[in-house]
Amino acid sequence: MYEKKIPLPLECGLAMTREILGGKWKPNLLFAISEGINRPSQLHRAIPQSTKRVLNLQLKELEEFEVIEKKIYHQLPPKVEYHLTERGETLMPLLRQMNEWGDKNRSFIKNIILNRTKVLD
Amino acid sequence: MYEKKIPLPLECGLAMTREILGGKWKPNLLFAISEGINRPSQLHRAIPQSTKRVLNLQLKELEEFEVIEKKIYHQLPPKVEYHLTERGETLMPLLRQMNEWGDKNRSFIKNIILNRTKVLD
DNA sequence: CGGCATCCGCCAAGATACTG
DNA sequence: CAGTATCTTGGCGGATGCCG
């Protein structure tokens, strides 16, 4: 009766990962940083759709989870650099796969999204 | 007035993938379905933290992007089954990696989250 | 069993402006 | 150049209930 079972196969590894990559721009930030785009202004230029504020927030969270680290050069003008940590590096294969999958399915997905908005007009 | 939110960059693979896996329970749903938990009630039992409504919504989106397909048996009581499509299958390696990464880093992440809320108390 | 309608709170994320 | 403060909103997702 109380053999709950239904073997929750959804061990929360997924949830954990989601906790890290959940932010809207976090994957992009990590990807960019991994490619040597590591200064705030550069990152903002690389992701102009977002704002400094939001990027800062998400960078702070990434830092909190120690997937990136922040180097502050106390000088004028200020200079800051972000770099992947060891842990962050281990995330890269995942990000690469996400990117790949998205690339392969882009046209298909795009179509669906566009048709969706078309209907709404 | 508040204009529409920023349109996501359709050229970016990461954004595309995010479009599919973005929902809170989508990865879990896909994972569960891939393991043969394919009826709505089973899925709900497997993810009791969520509600029928939300799961239905997300299943509908997954269906829209053709990563799963829905089989409806017109009978009483109604019976419905979800299955991964070809495209859905291609997502599995990604999900497995997410799950793995989360597992490996669970304790670390958990700690950070717990300490965070501790401070708030 | 499966699906849908309602209602609603919360907070991520966007816009803007200002400081050092 | 980097960072922060304030304000705003949309919409995701949670709670309930009814229907076939």
Question: CB atoms < 10 A from the CB of A82, how many?
Answer: 22
- Say yes or no: Cβ of A113 under 7 A from any atom of strand D: no
CB < 7 A contacts with chain C (nucleic strand): A 22-25, 49-54, 57-58, 77-78; B 3, 5-6, 39-42, 52-53, 56, 60, 70, 72, 77-80
Kindly give the residue spans of alpha helices, DSSP state H, lying in chain A.
13-21, 26-34, 40-46, 52-64, 86-89, 92-104, 106-120
The nucleotide closest to A22 (CA, C1' atoms): C12
Across the range B56-84, mean pLDDT stands at 96
Tell me which residue in B15, B98, B102 faces A102 most closely, judged by beta carbons: B15
Closest CA to B43 of B18, B65, B21, B60: B60
pLDDT at A117: 61
CATH class for the domain made up of A13-120: mainly alpha
Cα separation, A16 vs A10, in Å, equals: 11
Delimit the domains of chain B by residue range. Answer: 13-120
10-residue stretch averages of pLDDT, chain A, 121 residues long: 44 89 96 94 93 97 97 94 98 96 94 72 41
Using pLDDT thresholds of 50, 70 and 90, give the confidence band for residue B96: very high
Reported pTM: 0.89
Mean pLDDT of chain B: 88
Of the residues A2, A16, A65, A103, the best mutation for testing chain B's interface (the one with the most B CB atoms within 10 Å of its CB) is A16
Across the range B1-5, mean pLDDT stands at 34
Q: What is the pLDDT of residues B54-65, one digit of tens each?
A: 999 999 999 999
**Residues 6+ away with beta carbon under 8 Å from B84:** B30, B33, B34, B67, B68, B91, B92
Across the range B75-92, mean pLDDT stands at 96
